[in-house]
Amino acid sequence: MYRLFRFFRPYTLNLSWVIVFLFAQSIAELYLPTLMADVVNNGMMKGDTGYIWKYGSYMLLVALGSSFCSIVGSYLSSIVGMGFGKDVRDKVFSRVESYSLQEFDKIGTASLITRTTNDITQVQTLVVMGLRFMVYAPIMCVGGIIMAFSKDKRLTLILAVVLPVMLILIGSLAGVIVPLFKAMQVKLDKVNLVLRENLTGIRVIRAFNRLRSENERFRKANRDLTDNSIKVNKIMASIQPAMIIIMNLTSISIIWFGGHRISQNVMQVGDMMAFLQYAMQVMFSIIMVTIMFVMVPRAQASATRINEVLDVEPVICDPPRGRESGGRVGHVEFRDVTFSYPGAELPAVRNISFAAHPGEVTAIIGGTGSGKSTLINLIPRFYDVESGCVLVDGVDVRQMAQKELRAKIGFVPQTPILFSGTVAENIRYGKDDATDEEISHAAEIAQASEFIAAMKNGYESLISQGGTNLSGGQKQRLSIARALVRRPGIYILDDSFSALDFKTDARLRAALKKETTASTLIIVAQRVGTVMDADRIIVLDEGRIVGIGKHKELMGTCVVYREIVSSQLSEEEIA
Ligand code: ADP
Ligand code: MG
């Protein structure tokens, strides 16, 4: 929690003003009952109207001043609190942006969202409340006791009995509430997780008729959160009447004992009324502080979760001094690369060595789960290798600035991801300053121009969130166009033809080959037809290279390749 306090630094000036105004407010409020006692004792009891008018209007002024300070104080503390929240959110967001995929896998997307929104809100709420209470309540409590004592020493004994009772009661209730509050964030995480999975997986859920069980799963998480909140609120609700009873009993006893003292002529009426008010102020401030202390653990749990996000040092970061590649373009080399996912028993790929050069097409083929995607994810350094090294343009990817490395690569991921916006915007994502010609050229090669032209507004047609208004093949072609528009030295296409029909697949590859004569093309594919005429085919099996060469060579030497081929092509085609 305290580590988040560094975010207050830009608001130091505002903070000092908050303290000044709240201080002024509490002093004014402490002064009011004394003034009232004067008016009652010296004005009303003696029938001096002039005195009442004079001190009465004085009281009014002090009251107005106190309200003014209270308003300005709240205003300033809101500015500080909201600014604090905004800064923390910014910081968390930019930290998450720098995460590598490993860190995303670790914390989880749903939890990252809760942490950036709800957790920060919790801390922010506490900050806004805390700023007010932390200054105001202690002054009111201590000041109130001192002032009450100055009005009548004997009556102060009542407070000496009531306050400990109150503290014990509140303390024991807080002991029950705090663990419940702490559990709240985790339960909220769960609700978010289920909700997110449901929203993104709605098609699958419908197709498999899992609506009912998914509903049940959500209901359970939701119920869990609700039960917890209800428990907390029940206890909180019981505090209030208990406090009112205690306060009323205190009032009665002050009036009872005060009345006796007045009839013995050792106390004045005005002083008793002032004493009553001081007692109330003291008790209110204690309640305020308790509310704060109940809220602190929840915010504390949130603060820990925020700090967890901020503390993660991305395992993949830029070297202090990036090495230049010295003008070489389009060279990719794997030297005895082995890599395993964190926590996995076996390496996902092992002992991979090969080199790809400009103008060549390297195809990677292999069964699902054989490590094809893993292998090519190592080139843009989405993950770091375990041993061996990956060289791009002659430089180890770990010695290059990530930005520079990724600028060399046109990457088409296995699942095409589009962003909400127009078709043109999505293609321009690959290159900010692409002209309209460049965009339509890229679309042309990616065989996308036909269906784009058929859309209602052409390149200005809107793509909905996640590209749901396009077919799988259309999405694939747009994400290929997005990579093409960059004109990088290295193209990586991860199974990007899987949703295309054979004709489009063939046309696309022919156009691609013409376009990329000076670049290196690395294509992952399932279909033999797609890879057959590549300059180099790498056959992967369980993370290992079991064959490398041209189609003809592999047919003679590689059993796995022959099996893949014979499962897909008929006898005549093979011959
Ligand atoms: P392919 O693309 O050839 O179908 P992948 O490279 O995606 O295969 O997967 C290779 C292996 O690595 C699989 O056994 C898979 O379970 C595992 N794997 C893939 N992604 C992850 C990940 N993010 N975390 C842990 N294991 C993974
Ligand atoms: Mg894959």
pLDDT digits (tens, 9 = 90+) for 356-404: 999 999 999 998 889 999 999 999 999 999 999 999 999 999 999 988 8
Q: Residue 225: which of 174, 264, 191 has the closest Cα?
A: 191
374 in contact with ligand 1, CB cutoff 6 A = yes
Cα distance between residue 497 and residue 509, in whole Å: 9
**CB-CB neighbours of 172 under 10 Å:** 9
Domains of the chain are 2-195+228-311 (1.20.1560.10), 332-574 (3.40.50.300)
| 524 CA distance to ligand 2 middle (Å) | 8
Mean pLDDT of all residues in 424-430 = 92
What value does the mean pLDDT of the chain take? Answer: 89
pLDDT at res. 197: 86
pLDDT at res. 573: 67
| 260 CA distance to ligand 1 middle (Å) | 85
Atom 24 in ligand 1: which residue has the minimum CA distance? Answer: 341
Tokens describing residue 531 = 């890879």
Least confident window among 139-143, 144-148, 264-268, 566-570: 566-570
pLDDT digits (tens, 9 = 90+) for 65-110: 999 999 999 999 999 999 999 999 999 999 998 888 888 878 888 8
pLDDT digits (tens, 9 = 90+) for 497-552: 888 888 888 899 889 888 888 899 999 988 888 888 899 999 999 999 999 999 99
The ligand whose atoms approach the alpha carbon of 370 most closely is 1
pLDDT of 177 higher than 90: no
Cα distance between residue 376 and residue 411, in whole Å: 9
Contact 396, 441 (CB under 8 A): no
What is the band of 133 on the pLDDT scale with cuts at 50, 70, 90? confident
What is the band of 327 on the pLDDT scale with cuts at 50, 70, 90? confident
CA distances to 48, 357, 495, 513 from 360, in Å: 106, 6, 18, 9
Contact 358, 393 (CB under 8 A): no
pLDDT digits (tens, 9 = 90+) for 184-212: 878 888 898 898 888 888 888 888 888 89
pLDDT at res. 572: 62
| 384 CA distance to ligand 1 middle (Å) | 15
